[in-house]
Amino acid sequence: MSASQPPRTADVPTLLVKIFGKDRPGITAGLFDTLAAYSVDVIDIEQVVTRGRIVLCALITSPTAEGTSEGALRATVHSWTESLNLQTEIISGTGDNRPRGSGRSHVTVLGNPLTSESTAAIAASITATGGNIDRIFRLAKYPVTAVEFAVSGVETEPLRTALATAGAQIGIDVAVVSAGLHRRAQRLVIMDVDSTLIQDEVIELFAAHAGCEAEVAEVTARAMRGELDFEQSLHARVELLAGLDASVVDKVRSEVRLTPGARTLVRTLKRLGYQVGVVSGGFTQVTDALQVQLGLDFAAANTLEIVDGKFTGRVVGEIVDRAGKARLLRRFAAEAGVPLAQTVAIGDGANDLDMLNAAGLGVAFNAKPVVREAVHTAVNVPFLDTVLYLLGITREEVEAADWEDGTLD
Ligand SMILES: [Mg+2]
């Protein structure tokens, strides 16, 4: 049969057999063994087990072999399910499943907890866009409840806009990505460092050693009020570190606290063949160590100048600022041979905005409101590995991989 011919089941009589009840080994084998006596073909199977209860749906051709009938098949299946104390429903019809509408997306919902009100609001919002929910399954139960909806019949953009609004209103994280092969393709993930990959702001760690925390905080506040741009505030803050002994670099490195889930995120992405990097408005004195520690493919940041074992209060080399971060994302994507549409960027600050918007998927991670509102996808739970769920990776898969190679966190 050539691919251009319609499936041979298009107009044939078919039966939908649904089995429900207490799960135990052998149900699936038993059902198809029972059906085998009628020489029917299997068109589709869906099975799910939730808290020990199985729902098994089989779409099969109606029996046509000599000496068989639909009535006899129904009677056989019913007596088999009764013997196992299972419920069954058999519905006659024609052909295969209705074709899914054009426009397909994956909607990931993160809840901690996931409430029924939130779930209702998300589902209603999908329906309001004209979308149909084709499948729902759980990606993770810990540390958050993550559920994925496969949606068809609406383009990704309007769905994303509608769900971003709904998610913000009910205070829940919702990510919408278009379905397709690209989701499985090799990717590049680029992260911000301060308050994203790590819980700290590195300049503040240095400032603590220099005894100028208050002055640094004042410059940060001025930058936030819009009185200074990033580069001005960077120079002003670094100037305050002038004269500091270079030995504090090792101390600061040891003080850096990775964000929960950071190791799991990087380890899992590397296993999948993704390339992973960081771009930071902070300092190479710290990002270089993180690159080695986590096995990152790319790292870029500003470099504190050290002369004769002392900080000079200046930075050297190319400045990594808001525009620089987006430029580096493009450069790393080119070096990795990954199209920009296949890149994922994660960040929390205003200087991440260009990078987040340039990436195929930009994730605002526990971000300032101004960033959250300017980016389609936001994660507001404090676990970096939840980004894996946005990529369709389940907690079970992550843990199974860790188990196989004995990784312990
Ligand atoms: Mg940051």
Question: Which has the higher per-residue pLDDT, 199 or 407?
Answer: 199
Q: What is the pTM of this model?
A: 0.88
Map residue 103 onto helix, strand or coil. Answer: coil
Cα-to-centroid distance, 347 and ligand 1 (Å): 6
Residues 291 and 388 in one domain: yes
Residues 159 and 228 in one domain: no
Q: What does the H/E/C string look like for 37-62? A: CCCCCEEEEEEEEECCEEEEEEEEEC
Domain assignment present for residue 5? The answer is: no
6 pLDDT tier (thresholds 50, 70, 90): low
Q: How many domains does the chain have?
A: 3
Cα-to-centroid distance, 259 and ligand 1 (Å): 12
Cα-to-centroid distance, 383 and ligand 1 (Å): 15
Cα-to-centroid distance, 93 and ligand 1 (Å): 56
Which of 149, 179, 209 is the C-terminal boundary of a domain? 179
For residue 306, pLDDT beyond 70 = yes
CA 98 to mean position of chain CA atoms: 29
Residues 223 and 365 in one domain: yes
- Pick the range with the lowest mean pLDDT from 70-84, 220-234, 302-316, 347-361: 220-234
Domain assignment present for residue 6? The answer is: no
Distances 328 to 352, 367, 375 between C-alpha atoms, Å: 11, 21, 19
Cα-to-centroid distance, 214 and ligand 1 (Å): 19
DSSP state string for 167-218:
HHHHT-EEEEEE-SGGGGS--EEEE-TBTTTBSS-HHHHHHHHHT-HHHHHH
Q: What is the pLDDT of residue 409?
A: 54
Residues 134 and 255 in one domain: no
Which residues place a Cβ less than 5 A from the ion ligand 1? 192, 194-195, 348-349
Mean pLDDT of 156-161: 93
Residue 194 falls in the annotated catalytic set:
yes
Domain assignment present for residue 277? The answer is: yes
Domain span including residue 63: 13-94
Q: What are the pLDDT digits (tens) for 355-387? A: 999 999 999 999 988 888 888 789 999 999 999
Residues 158 and 204 in one domain: no
Which residues pair with residue 56 across a beta bridge?
19, 47
Q: How far apart are CA 253 and CA 289, in angstroms?
A: 7
Residues 204 and 110 in one domain: no
pLDDT, averaged across the chain:
92
Cα-to-centroid distance, 396 and ligand 1 (Å): 29
Of the residues 41, 134, 194, 200, only one is catalytic, namely: 194
Residues 271-291 as b/e (b if ≥16 CB within 10 A, e otherwise) read ebebbbbbbbbbbbbbbbbbb
Residues 200 and 332 in one domain: yes
Residues 241 and 160 in one domain: no
Residues 154 and 297 in one domain: no
Q: How far apart are CA 259 and CA 315, in angstroms?
A: 26
Strands 104-111 and 173-178: antiparallel
Which of 74, 94, 114 is the C-terminal boundary of a domain? 94
Q: What's the number of CA atoms in the CB half-sphere (13 Å) around residue 369?
A: 3
Question: Which has the higher per-residue pLDDT, 180 or 258?
Answer: 258
**Cis upstream peptide for 158 (omega within 30°):** no
Of the residues 33, 134, 173, 192, only one is catalytic, namely: 192
Tracing tokens 């029917």 back to the chain, one arrives at: 40
For residue 100, pLDDT beyond 90 = no
Domain assignment present for residue 7? The answer is: no
CATH of the domain at 256: 3.40.50.1000
Map residue 90 onto helix, strand or coil. Answer: strand
Cα-to-centroid distance, 192 and ligand 1 (Å): 6
Cα-to-centroid distance, 224 and ligand 1 (Å): 13
Domain assignment present for residue 408? The answer is: no
Q: What is the pLDDT of residue 142?
A: 87
Residue 352 falls in the annotated catalytic set:
no
Residues 59 and 132 in one domain: no
Q: What is the pLDDT of residue 67?
A: 86
Mean pLDDT of 80-103: 92
Q: How many CB atoms lie within 10 A of CB 237?
A: 23
Cα-to-centroid distance, 261 and ligand 1 (Å): 16
**Cis upstream peptide for 99 (omega within 30°):** no
- Pick the range with the lowest mean pLDDT from 157-171, 264-278, 317-331: 157-171
Assess contact for 336 and 275: CB atoms under 8 A: yes
For residue 148, pLDDT beyond 50 = yes
Residues 222 and 350 in one domain: yes
Q: What is the pLDDT of residue 220?
A: 85
Domain assignment present for residue 197? The answer is: yes
Cα-to-centroid distance, 271 and ligand 1 (Å): 26
CATH of the domain at 111: 3.30.70.260
Q: What are the pLDDT digits (tens) for 334-351? A: 999 999 999 999 999 999
Cα-to-centroid distance, 409 and ligand 1 (Å): 24
Assess contact for 202 and 282: CB atoms under 8 A: yes
- Pick the range with the lowest mean pLDDT from 187-196, 221-230, 239-248: 221-230
Q: What are the pLDDT digits (tens) for 12-68? A: 899 999 999 999 999 999 999 999 999 999 999 999 999 999 999 999 999 987 888
For residue 1, pLDDT beyond 60 = no
9 pLDDT tier (thresholds 50, 70, 90): low
Residues 313 and 367 in one domain: yes
Cα-to-centroid distance, 70 and ligand 1 (Å): 64
Mean pLDDT of 191-196: 97
2 pLDDT tier (thresholds 50, 70, 90): very low
Domain assignment present for residue 252? The answer is: yes
Q: What is the pLDDT of residue 150?
A: 96
Domain assignment present for residue 4? The answer is: no
Which of 61, 94, 127 is the C-terminal boundary of a domain? 94
Identify the H or E element spanning 146. strand 145-152
Question: Phi and psi of 360, rounded to 5°?
Answer: -60, -40
